[in-house]
A and B are shown apart, each in its own frame.
Chain A
Amino acid sequence: MQIEDRKEGSKRIKLVIHSNLEDVSLIGTAINTLCSSIPLSDTDSYQIELCVVEAVNNSIEHAYGNEKGHEVEVVFTLYPDRLIVDVCDTGKPMDQECMEQKDVSPLEIDPNDLDNIAEQGRGLPIIKAIMDSMTYKTESGKNCLTLTRNI
């Protein structure tokens, strides 16, 4: 872990893991504990943990193609009225159309049509349903998904 320079009114911590799905639970547990200490409710802490885990999974599986030997960086910044989590990688950038889907309709399903219920692709819709905002930026080879939740 590394403590970044303190910006006025904020507290920040950076976590870094290798691009290994086995290590993602470390991030999840850390995020849950950080949220609980604010304090956020058990439900809110879990939901934010879930969003961060989904974002980290996407970095490992899609940006890095499940290739080991890379890093995923998670920066948790706490302001008095919101928390912001940046999940960053240096892999293949996400397709813009993944971000452009404006709603959570991938979560709408016909429970009677099992064959057409997707087994993948719920990560970003889950994040959109839980967080207050989600933005994505690529700069100098670094891709960051920024999740914001008002508290």
Chain B
Amino acid sequence: MQVEDKKEGDVLVVKVLNKRLDAQAANDFKEKMTGYINNGSPLIVLNMSDVDFVDSSGLGAMVSVLKLFGGDGQLAICGTTERVARMFKLTRMNKVFSMFEGESEAIEALSK
């Protein structure tokens, strides 16, 4: 799982560089995100603009990560492609995750 990260104020922006968040990538993804959370990053924007395929394993990993945040942290998703956004809608995950079109929108929402 390839990611790049940057800090924008109090918000950590993590961009997934893999094109597929699938069964093969799911565990790596969870590990990476767990590392960020355990290192004290309670506010994370996950930029998924490079991801063009998510399956139920990838979704499950994202749910697992969301659960790690607990009450004090927040996760926002940005940049999902249309096909991935449809998959989120099909699985009702668009109601579970805070989703934004652009990175700056997501950062602003978490910075409030």
Contact = CB atoms under 8 A, between A and B. Distances in A.
Interface in B1-51: 20, 22-24
A139 to B, nearest CB: 27
A79 B88 CA distance: 30
A114 B92 contact: no
- Measured as residues with beta carbon below 8 angstroms from the partner, the interface class of chain B is 20 to 34
B67 A122 contact: no
A87 B86 CA distance: 24
A111 B96 contact: yes
Given A50-B87, A122-B60, A28 B53 contact: yes
Given A24-B23, A25-B24, A57-B23, A126 B56 contact: yes
Given A53-B22, A107-B91, 11 more contacts: A24-B24, A28-B22, A43-B86, A46-B86, A50-B53, A50-B87, A57-B55, A109-B96, A111-B95, A119-B61, A126-B91
7 contacts: A107-B90, A109-B96, A111-B95, A120-B60, A122-B59, A122-B60, A130-B90
